[in-house]
Amino acid sequence: MSRTTIDEVAKAAGVSKATVSRVLSGNHKHLRTSTRLRVEKAIQALNFRPSSVARSLTSKRTHTVGVLVADISNPFYPDVFHGIEDSALKEGYSVFLCNTNYDLARGKHYIQSLIDKRVDGVLIMTSSFSQEWLVELERSNVPVILLDWEVQTRGHNVSTIAVDFQRGIQAAVEHLVQWGHRRFAHVGGPPHLQTSKDRRTAFLQAVAAHGIDPATVPVIDGNLRIDGGRQAMHELLSLPELPTALFAANDLTALGILLETRAHGIAVPEQLSVLGLDDIWLAAQSDPPLTTVALPRYEIGQLAMRLLFELLEKPRADYIEVVSTLVRTTLVVRGSTGPAPTGEAPVRVG
């Protein structure tokens, strides 16, 4: 039982398949209404749906894109994906989701597979990737949008979305300084990730702008997960002097910190202000709710897809078109930040 084809419809409607094709593609200009209706009725009757596969073979468009993410379980990505998907849906596109699981070889494999499938474009949103991927895509002439927080990008002519961490982090530091904080610390992500460096640098610069020597600011490495935050807070406790405000590289880290402060009887924000970054949904649900630098994830996804469409619209030239955008971050004030404790460093209980 094979699917009904355009030929059968043509036969049923007593026209040629060219005519059927015309009504399919809405080429109503030169079509007698009566025949159009007749064809449409036949289509209905036979429950005919044109094969995208056959269409793609001639049109050279699959209306399909591939999205590579590091790990969809990471709360960052689902929101990005929603943005991508909603933009894609509007243009009638479908999206292949590919988890690299932080595995470059797996990513390479997916890239190949996507190229073979003749996707119209690829979105790379993995936190790290290999140049090889870009090379493959480039020589297959597949447009790419890259979520740019890796240093490798430079030197390659790919379209990118970059995140302006500075803006939001500056606002956050200002907020803390206004509360009287002068002793800060930072819990970063894995130090080899560019995004970790970006966030740390933005923070230290912002702090420096308020006359605080960045060299005096303790920086502890986390892993962008809750347990990393706990661990970091633990280490922080052995410092001779506790800071009054803590900036974590992401919300999960901040949440871990929160958990650990509670275990040690440190009151947030009375004794310690804690600041996250991301604004995942969980941030609003913690106790206390987390003050954080919001990263517009949905918008990032949406934008990435839009940029891709921009690329797709332009007549595919032999040279690579490049488009780029910067995405803003903003401060969301909740309950985990407050006035700096007066007098002594926070008391340690427990």
Partner DNA sequence: GTGAAAGCGCTAACAT
Partner DNA sequence: ATGTTAGCGCTTTCAC
- How far is residue 109's CA from residue 305's CA, in Å, rounded to a whole number? 22
Q: How many CA atoms lie within 13 A of 23 on its CB side?
A: 25
Q: Is 347 exposed, middle or buried (0-12, 13-18, 19+ CB in 10 A)?
A: exposed
25 binding partner (options its own copies, DNA, none; Cβ < 5 to 8 Å by kind):
DNA
Stretch that binds DNA, among 7-15, 228-236, 248-256, 332-340 (CB under 7 A): 7-15
Stretch that binds DNA, among 31-39, 127-135, 175-183, 188-196 (CB under 7 A): 31-39
The β-bridge partners of 325 are: 161
Q: Judged by CB under 7 A, does residue 139 bind DNA?
A: no
7 binding partner (options its own copies, DNA, none; Cβ < 5 to 8 Å by kind):
DNA
Q: How many residues does the chain have?
A: 350
Could you tell me if 334 and 292 are in contact, meaning their C-beta atoms sit under 8 angstroms apart?
A: yes
Q: Judged by CB under 7 A, does residue 15 bind DNA?
A: yes
Q: Name the residue among 267, 266, 269, 274 with its Cα closest to residue 249.
A: 274
* Continuous segment of H or E residues that includes residue 177: helix 165-178
Q: Judged by CB under 7 A, does residue 6 bind DNA?
A: yes
The single residue among 28, 32, 41, 60 that binds its own copies, judged by CB under 8 A, is 60
How is residue 158 written in tokens?
């790919």
- How far is residue 129's CA from residue 218's CA, in Å, rounded to a whole number? 30
The Cβ of residue 269 has, within 10 Å, a number of other Cβ atoms equal to 22
The single residue among 16, 25, 73, 324 that binds its own copies, judged by CB under 8 A, is 73
- How far is residue 25's CA from residue 264's CA, in Å, rounded to a whole number? 67
For the CB of residue 23, give the shortest distance to DNA in the complex, in Å.
9
Which residues of this protein are in contact with its own copies, per CB under 8 A? 1-3, 47, 49-54, 56-57, 60, 62, 64, 71-73, 75, 78-79, 81-82, 85, 89, 92, 94-99, 106, 109, 112-118, 139-141, 226-227, 255-256, 259, 262-263, 281-282, 285, 287, 316, 318
Residues found near DNA in the complex (CB under 7 A): 2-3, 5-7, 14-22, 24-25, 30-32, 34-36, 48, 50-51, 53-55, 57-59
